[in-house]
Amino acid sequence: MKQMRTVPVLMYHHVTPAGGAINVTPEHFRDQLAWLKRQGYRTLTCEEFAAHLAGEPAPERSVLITFDDGYLDNYVHAWPALREYGFHAVIFLVTGWIGQGPARPHAGQGEGARALPPTPDHADCMRQVAAGQAHEIALNWSEIDRMRADGVCEFHSHTHTHTRWDKQDPARKNEQMRHELQQSRACLADHLGAVSDHLCWPQGYFDADYVAIAREAGFRHLYTTRAFGRNRPGSDPASIFRFAVRNTSGASVGRRIRVAASPWIGPLFNAWKRWKRGQRYAG
């Protein structure tokens, strides 16, 4: 049974006082980390997670924490909490959004620190991206360097512009995706010195063509927004399942983690949710 252990992968976007649908408040985020700590969980690196999928059993009570897009609030609020609790996180960067400049203030710097920068909710972030102001709400390379330096966070590709080319330019979507991945790899190599084989699909969309293009570009571990599956040894690394973490208590997230990890309840829950979703679409 140890060889078949499932590692739940948690998907976050924002940690911000704004709260909301895909925005977790700092208070709830800390409560979620505190729950993991009390229950004896450990967080994996991407390298450790890849080894698990390849057949090397992960330690009991392992999870992978991921953040999508690379928002400023990941530095301002999430990184200090992760450091405090001794956990690791993976951040998938939309490389075209990442700017230059000095590192901005973050939580936990003491009473003498400057006021924290605004960390708006997801809807406001999308408005600023559309207005050409992504640098205001996204990380910059100075902040990324700080987050990497202590080993708490690692950074991988989430494409260069986060565009749904199947909607924006369907006739040329494959060509556009090839260019996206080339741009993203070049940017990461230039700023981080290397590029991994881990990629997260923008807005969760992918098809067989995209998977082939990603593999040609050097990506092997492909992260989805599909929640109802199991990440076990021998699982397909081109279809990594993740579930979204809500703005809720640590105990609530803990129940979802335990369901995902259970060798008995997990498959039944996933099958039921897939059936329920199918019924909804059929109706």
pLDDT at 11 (0 to 100):
98
Can you tell me the mean pLDDT for 39-50? 98
**Per-residue pLDDT averaged across 173-185, rounded?**
98
**Per-residue pLDDT at 259 exceeds 60:** yes
Best CA proximity match to 155, nearest among 185, 179, 183: 185
* Cα(54)–Cα(134) distance, integer angstroms: 37
Task: Return the bridge partners of 223, or none.
Answer: 200, 240
Domain count across the chain: 1
pLDDT at 283: 55
What does the pLDDT average to over 216-242?
97
Q: How many helices (H) and strands (E) does the chain have?
A: 12, 10
- Tell me: the pLDDT tens digits for 51-107? 999 999 899 999 999 999 999 999 999 999 999 999 999 999 999 999 999 999 999
Burial class for 215, CB neighbours closer than 10 Å (0-12, 13-18, 19+): middle
Q: Is the pLDDT of residue 1 over 50?
A: no
**In the structure, what pLDDT confidence band is assigned to residue 46 with cuts at 50, 70 and 90?**
very high
Query: At 278, is the pLDDT very low, low, confident or very high (cuts 50, 70, 90)?
Result: confident
Output the six-digit token pair for 23: 């925005």
| Distance between CA atoms of residues 141 and 250, nearest Å | 31
Give every CB contact of residue 22 below 8 A, 6+ residues apart in sequence.
Answer: 13, 14, 122, 244
Tokens of 115: 């006021």
Give the Cβ contact number of residue 208 at 10 Å. 7
Residue 21 banded pLDDT, cuts 50, 70, 90:
confident
In 3D, which of 19, 61, 18, 29 has the Cα closest to residue 252? 29
Residue 25 pLDDT more than 50? yes
| CATH number (domain holding residue 195) | 3.20.20.370
pLDDT of residue 4: 72
Range of the domain at 200: 2-282
Instruction: Give phi and psi for 178, each to the nearest 5.
Output: -55, -45
Average pLDDT in the chain: 95
Q: Which residue has the tokens 């997230």?
A: 253
The residue with greater pLDDT, 104 or 282, is 104
Residue 213: pLDDT above 50? yes
Per-residue pLDDT for 263 more than 80?
A: yes
Q: List Cβ neighbours of 134 (8 Å cut-off, separation of 6 or more).
A: 94, 96, 97, 99, 128
* pLDDT, tens digit (0-9, with 9 covering 90-100), for 127-148: 999 999 999 999 999 999 999 9
- State the pTM of this model: 0.95
